[in-house]
Amino acid sequence: MSQCFSVYEYGFLLRGGNSSGLDVTSISESDWDCLLNGESRLVDDDSPRLFRPVIRKGQQALQVLNYVGILSLPSGSSIEILPKTTEVESEKKSRQCLFKMLARVNDLPFTKFNDADLGVFERPLLEILIGRFLQTVQHLINKGLRSQYIRVDGEEAFLKGKLRVGDHLRNPPHKRHFFPIEYDAYLLTRPENRLLHWAVNQVYHWSRDGIHRSHARKILTLLSEVPRSNDPLADLKAWQDDRLMQHYAPVKVWIELIVKGISPWTQIGSVRGISLLYPMEQLFEKYVFQVIREQTQNGYTVRAQSYAGWLAHHSGKDFFRLQPDIIIQKGETRVGVLDTKWKLLDQENARQKYGISQADMYQLFAYSQKCLPSGGNLFLVYPKTSQFSKPLPEFSFSNMHRLWVVPFCLETDSLINLKWPEDEPFLTGNRSA
């Protein structure tokens, strides 16, 4: 019977056994062997691995690396990889945090949850996503599916539309009472509806939740007049975003996520299932950017992964492109650089430099010299935890360049106590620790 195994990032997968914790969990021997035997790469042999083999307490294990999300296994089971910080104390809150980040980064129709709704997050992440998708599809169907005129060719015993005279003359005598005709019919057979049918069918087979499977079956019955898409990528390219299709927009982002989830570069071997995997560093970076962009004010703008020059010039060529995570501008002038790091700091451990990597400091120093030649402020942003709940004292690269190391709270979506060294703040959402 297929299962969903939950594990934290950098947790361990054991080959067989009965461990079921979030730090250490057991999977079947066949699934474990598949992950070990080089099939846990993305894209090709040069891609990063998702796991690395280790020995843990004398037992073979695979350690999850820096990816979070959902991974299908050959047996039909799946692994749910959740982010872990000391701030997130339970599987439910960790899953809620990941769902919120994925929803914002992927522009999914986002629903805020209150304490009474937290029971939703007792389920695996895949079932949460399926449930939200089916609700969105049901809402669309309640509003009404769009039809369009489609050219139909056929042979009928009556005349309708345009008679294909040449074909009629070539008919043998025993078929002369049939008329080859072509006409336009107003049908539901359009790319968007074909994709809808295909996507609901996909999640029906992925889900192990009886309520979700029942809901999907009802929707499939309502879509029975619509043929299922045979080429999802082609139909997605043919999707129309005109005014009459605006109510399809919430469904489109879900379908794009489903298409992405079955793409070859997220599969393990010949596994038929969904795999949505995100490097946690990139997910955190994109999430922080989305939040900061929404909170920016007072004439400031932020740009993500924007070109900011080159580190060196050699033999007539530029070397080592500079591309900070986030550039802060006022008008056309760069006034700050912000870099995110998905690492845990300890604000009390100054002896060990709080856990800040020396390479990260070198990187920010290079940004200060090349991206902010006239001076400015630089920020290293780490997730807020119980060990890092307030900004560190200011670092100074020069009289013109200061570095601030600040926590980002994933619960309140705010940079904690960010003190912009100007008379006016550049964010609206900063809060006290």
58 and 100 belong to one structural domain: yes
**Sequence-ordered alpha helix ranges (H) in 113-265:** 125-143, 165-170, 191-206, 210-222, 232-237, 249-261
| pLDDT at position 105 | 86
What Cα–Cα distance (Å) separates residue 429 from each residue in 184, 193, 296, 414, 424? Answer: 55, 40, 9, 5, 14
- Note the pLDDT of residue 140: 93
- Return the higher-pLDDT residue of 432 and 3: 3
User: pLDDT at residue 329 above 90?
Assistant: no
429 is a domain residue: no
Residue 339 has pLDDT above 90, yes or no: yes
Among 137, 150, 144, CA closest to 195: 137
Task: Name the pLDDT band for 42 (thresholds 50, 70, 90).
Answer: very low
Among 366, 278, 384, 382, smallest CA distance to 324 is for 366
Q: Do 217 and 88 fall into the same domain?
A: yes
Domain end: 278, 309, 330, which one?
Answer: 278
pLDDT of residue 433: 37
- 41 and 152 assigned to the same domain: no
Which of the four pLDDT bands, split at 50, 70 and 90, describes residue 194?
A: very high
Q: What number of other Cβ atoms are within 10 A of residue 369's Cβ?
A: 14
Q: 348-386, pLDDT tens digit by residue?
A: 998 899 999 999 999 999 989 888 888 888 999 999 988
Q: How many domains does the chain have?
A: 3
Whether 433 is covered by a domain: the verdict is no
The residue-averaged pLDDT of 144-149 equals 83
Residue of 339 and 179 predicted with greater confidence: 339
Residues 220, 132 share a domain = yes
Residues 157 and 204 in one domain: no
Q: Are residues 119 and 204 in the same domain?
A: yes
pLDDT, residue 431, reads 46
Range of the domain at 156: 148-187
Cα angle at 274 between 268 and 276, to 5 degrees? Answer: 85
What are the backbone dihedrals phi and psi of residue 424, each rounded to the nearest 5 degrees, phi first?
-115, 140
What CA–CA distance (Å, rounded) separates 415 from 332? 24
CA separation for the pair 1, 114 (Å, rounded)? 34
25 and 172 co-located in one domain? no
Contacts by 37-41, CB closer than 8 A, 24 or more apart: 39/268, 39/269, 40/268
| Whether residues 98 and 78 fall in one domain | yes
Q: Which amino acid is at 410?
A: L
Rounded Cα distance, 221 and 141, in Å? 12
Contact between 60 and 43 (Cβ < 8 Å): no
- What average pLDDT score do residues 2-19 get? 88
**CB burial string 116-152: b at 16+ within 10 A, e below:** eeeebbebbbbbbbbbbbbebbeebeeeebbebeeee
In a domain, 291, yes or no: no
Identify residue 359 by its one-letter amino acid code: A
Please give the pLDDT value at position 248. Answer: 92
Token couple for 205:
């087979």
Q: Quote the pLDDT of residue 116.
A: 43
Write the pLDDT tens digit of every residue in 104-118: 888 776 555 444 454
Evaluate whether residue 426 is within a structural domain: no
d(CA 327, CA 340): 12
pLDDT at residue 264, as a whole number: 43
Q: Are residues 108 and 205 in the same domain?
A: yes
For the segment 11-31, the average pLDDT, to the nearest whole number, is 89
User: Is pLDDT of 173 > 50?
Assistant: yes
Q: Is residue 30 part of a domain?
A: yes
What tens digit of pLDDT does each residue of 222-263 get?
999 899 999 999 999 999 888 888 889 989 988 988 887 765
Q: Give the domain-ending residue among 247, 278, 309.
A: 278
**51 and 113 housed in the same domain:** yes
Q: Let me know whether 331 and 209 are in one domain.
A: no
Which of 123-127, 140-144, 263-267 has the highest average model confidence (pLDDT)?
A: 140-144
Q: So what's the pLDDT on residue 356?
A: 93
* Average pLDDT across the chain, whole number: 82
Model confidence at 266, in pLDDT bands (50, 70, 90)? very low
pLDDT per residue as tens digits for the range 383-430: 998 889 899 998 989 888 889 899 999 888 888 766 565 545 666 655
* pLDDT beyond 80 at 27: yes
What are residue 9's phi and psi, to 5 degrees? -55, 140
What would the two tokens of residue 38 be? 């080089």
Nearest in space to 62 (alpha carbons), one of 127, 30, 100, 15 = 15
pTM: 0.78
- Asked if 224 and 342 sit in the same domain, the reply is no
Share of the chain above pLDDT 70, in %: 85
* Choice between 85 and 317, residue whose per-residue pLDDT is larger: 317
Would residue 289 count as lying in a domain? no
Q: Which residues contact 140 (CB under 8 A, 6 or more apart)?
A: 196, 247, 248, 250, 251
Given a cut of 70, whether residue 46 has pLDDT beyond it is: no
Closest to 281 (Cα-Cα) out of 80, 72, 110, 68: 68
Q: Is 24 part of any domain?
A: yes
Rounded to whole angstroms, the Cα distance separating 271 from 266 reads 10
Confidence of residue 215 (pLDDT cuts 50, 70, 90): very high
Count CB-CB contacts under 10 A for residue 100.
18
Does some domain include residue 229?
A: yes
What percent of the chain is predicted at pLDDT more than 90?
Answer: 27
For residues 15-43, average pLDDT:
79
Rounded to whole angstroms, the Cα distance separating 432 from 322 reads 33
